[in-house]
Structure 1
Amino acid sequence: MKAVVQVLKYVIFDLDDTLLDFQAAEQSSLKTILTRYHVPDLTVAKRCYLAHNHQVWAQIEHGGDREQLLNQRFQIVLGKLGIVVDGPTVQREYNALLGQGYQTLPGVQSLLTTLKTAQLTLLIGTNGVQDTQLNRIRGAGLAPYFDHVFISEAVGVAKPDRRFFDAMTTRYPDLTPDNAVMVGDSLASDITGAANAGLASIWFNPHHQVARNVRPTVTVTDFSQLQHCLLNW
């Protein structure tokens, strides 16, 4: 049964493709890496990487060894293209580039300012590399809006594992299904994760995708709808 928030106090935000434009940061960083290692065809190489990376994060979200999977991904992808590299080295280079991906989605600053003015406690709950995500949050100017940032590398497990959310209730003992909601773009990690933790969820769905197998508490397609939903919960 879906959680129903009575008096909203905590809003837990996903980061990538909810607040920050991860697609833009990823494309820029990936192009730099692939060009640096002289791939013969950028289009083919990007397609190969994206397909493999999707599998990597699916494995991480199901409990796979994140460090090993991430450190091997460029070695595997470039290896398929006949290019031999040291996986951990390329991963570090990619993380450094991605850490400079500060692009926010349009309207983020206004939304967060309004929510802070309404005295809501804002948290970030994101899968990813600790240093990379913190650099992006700071670089985008988002850090002052959030009371705490929970990142899977530091937590030790990734969304949708309910233990990821247990880290939040450990730090904030009064955070309960009655006063908290998860906001995110991913059905697999954000919405399923919220369901696993017994939390209400808001699916940020600007591309009008169809939900399958998991049902968010509420679906919004833009920040105006999201703001109205949170302020009138």
Structure 2
Amino acid sequence: MPLVALDLDGTLVDQASAARRWSNDFVQAWGLPAGEVDTVAEALTARRPKGEVFGALVERLGVPAAADEIWLDHRSKMPSFVAVSDDDRRALIDLKEAGWTIGIVTNGMADNQEGKIRPTGLDALVDGWVVSDTVGVRKPHPAIFESLATRLGCTLEGWMIGDSLELDVAGGAAVGLRTAWIGDGSDPAGFRPDLVVDSVAAAASHIIDVGAHA
């Protein structure tokens, strides 16, 4: 069956809102100025390894704790802060009923990412997933997409849906997938997503309408 591969953070789950909730708690817990909430939340949603993020935050904010300690707190709490919209849940069900194989391909640590996939119920809505931590390679490297296809027993024929032009659109296109970009209102200069949408639900509706081979 054809594949719909999906990113996790910022695509299936609202990473920005979750990051802001954690940032607010973090700033309050350490008695930091309220204005630092925006700084911390922005850093958390940056597309860079989280180990680097927390090291930079601890140094900049002068927090008297090790970066690894703060990172562990983040990893333990963030899964409870994320959510999946009802429309996107319905879209995954519709895709499966239309005959698509559905998989999640995400960068990150296995415990953190699976801590979002399972509690949100995404594990029951998709056919499987791969996390960069467990396969040793990150998007946009082709090997992580190939690992997903192998795990799901399908070929790399279909679509990649994600919110990152560099990781999801370029990465998916490089392995032959058509791409749906969940846009942020900017011009995707230098990239050529096949579809620009505002949600997984919107992408799924288009994919189902055009069919597997259109």
- Give TM class, smaller chain: 0.7 to 0.9
Structure 2 distance, partners of 1:217, 1:209, is: 16
* Match of residue 94 from structure 1: 74
**Structure with more contact order per residue of length (Cα contacts < 8 Å, sep ≥ 6):** 1
RMSD of the TM alignment (CA)?
Answer: 2.2
Aligned to 1:227: 204
Letter in 2 for 1:204: I
Q: Distance in 2 between matches of 1:48 and 1:218?
A: 31
**Deviation of residue 95 (structure 1)?**
0.6
1:45 Cα deviation from its structure 2 partner: 5.3
Shift of 1:230: 1.1
- Measured at CA, do residues 223 and 34 of structure 1 come closer, stay the same or move farther in structure 2, by a change above 3 Å? same
User: In the alignment, does 2:4 pair up with 1:11?
Assistant: yes
2:160 alignment partner in structure 1: 182
Q: CA deviation at 1:195?
A: 2.2
Change over 3 Å in CA distance of 1:106–1:208 after alignment to 2: farther
1:30-109 alignment, distance < 5 Å: 30-39=23-32, 41-44=33-36, 46-47=38-39, 50-51=42-43, 54=46, 57-58=47-48, 66=49, 70-109=50-89
| Secondary structure at the counterpart of residue 180 of structure 2 | strand
> What residue is the counterpart of 1:216 in the other structure?
193
Identity %: 24
* CA apart distance, 1:97: 0.9
CA contact (8 A) 1:102 1:137 kept: no
Is the 1:14–1:184 Cα contact (8 Å) retained in structure 2?
A: yes
Distance 1:146-1:84 versus aligned 2 partners, 3 A rule: same
Shift, 1:223, TM fit = 4.7
Whole-angstrom distance in 2 between the partners of 1:229 and 1:155: 31
The gaps in structure 2 that reach 5 residues or longer are none
Out of 145, 167, 176, the position equivalent to 2:125 is 145
1:112: how far off?
A: 1.1
Change (3 A) 1:72 1:12: closer
**Is 2:180 aligned against 1:202?**
yes
Aligned residue for 2:110? 130
Q: CA deviation at 1:73?
A: 2.9
135-144 vs 73-82, greater mean Cα deviation:
73-82
Q: Which runs of 5+ in 1 are unaligned?
A: 1-7, 59-65
Equivalent-residue separation in structure 2 for 1:223 and 1:165 (angstroms) = 19
Deviates more, 1:117-126 or 1:213-222: 213-222
Q: Give TM-score, length-normalised by structure 1.
A: 0.80
Residue pair 1:129, 1:151 contacting (<8 A) in 2 also: yes
Query: Which stretch shifts more, 98-107 or 146-155?
Result: 98-107
User: When the two structures are superposed, what TM-score results if normalisation uses the length of structure 2?
Assistant: 0.87
- Classify 1:151/1:157 alpha carbon distance in 2 versus 1 (closer, same or farther; 3 Å): same
Check the 8 A contact 2:127/2:152 in 1, yes or no: no
